[in-house]
């Protein structure tokens, strides 16, 4: 197995794991990332995003090669769409996970572009 496939499977596994966390043991932590302007209940937002993460992760692992580039773009869009939650957590100084200081929350903001790049690179042509 080459590095690109290992990276793709790792990304898919990470998303499935995060999705399961959304639906179970980390729901409260994920609620801290939902911006106030989202027109849904915080828990509903967490559940829906968890379902999407599980679906994306499973798709990343199982999708045939000819569809992976498109799936990479879809995953990058998803990572972009949830970024306002990271910004909200920083701006509102909400503790969740190990993000319990402004510096940690700020550092987390720089992880999102890396996730986007990971999706595009591991699933691109």
pLDDT in tens, 12-67: 999 999 999 999 999 999 999 999 999 999 999 999 999 999 999 999 999 999 99
Residue in the structure block whose two tokens are 């990271």: 86
Beta strands in 12-115 (DSSP E): none
What per-residue confidence (pLDDT) applies to 104? Answer: 96
pLDDT exceeds 90 at position 71 = yes
Give the gyration radius of the chain's Cα atoms: 15
Neighbours of 77 (CB within 10 A): 12
pLDDT in tens, 77-107: 999 999 999 999 999 999 998 899 999 999 9
What per-residue confidence (pLDDT) applies to 25? Answer: 95
Contacts of 4 (CB under 8 A, 6+ apart): 121, 122
pLDDT confidence band for 125 (50 / 70 / 90): confident
- Domain of 100, in residue numbers: 3-123
For the question of whether the overall pTM of this predicted structure is more than 0.75, the answer is yes
What per-residue confidence (pLDDT) applies to 74? Answer: 98
pLDDT exceeds 90 at position 1 = no
What per-residue confidence (pLDDT) applies to 66? Answer: 96
Mean pLDDT, rounded, of the chain: 96
Residue in the structure block whose two tokens are 């106030």: 36
Please give the tally of structural domains in the chain: 1
pLDDT in tens, 73-83: 999 999 999 99
- DSSP-derived secondary structure for 29-74: HHHTTS-TT-SS-HHHHHHHHHHHHHHHHHHHHHS-HHHHHHHHHH
3-class SS at 64?
A: coil
């Amino acid at each position: 197995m080459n590095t690109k496939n290992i990276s793709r499977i790792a990304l898919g596994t990470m998303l499935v794991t995060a999705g399961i966390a959304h639906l179970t043991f980390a729901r409260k932590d994920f609620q801290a990332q939902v911006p106030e302007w989202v027109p849904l209940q915080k828990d509903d937002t967490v559940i829906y995003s968890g379902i999407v993460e599980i679906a994306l992760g499973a798709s990343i692992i199982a999708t045939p090669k000819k569809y992976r580039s498109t799936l990479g773009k879809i995953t990058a869009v998803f990572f972009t769409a949830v970024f306002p939650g990271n910004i909200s957590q920083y701006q509102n100084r909400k503790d969740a996970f190990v993000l319990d200081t402004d510096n940690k929350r700020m550092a987390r903001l720089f992880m999102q572009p890396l996730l986007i790049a990971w999706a595009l690179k591991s699933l691109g042509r």
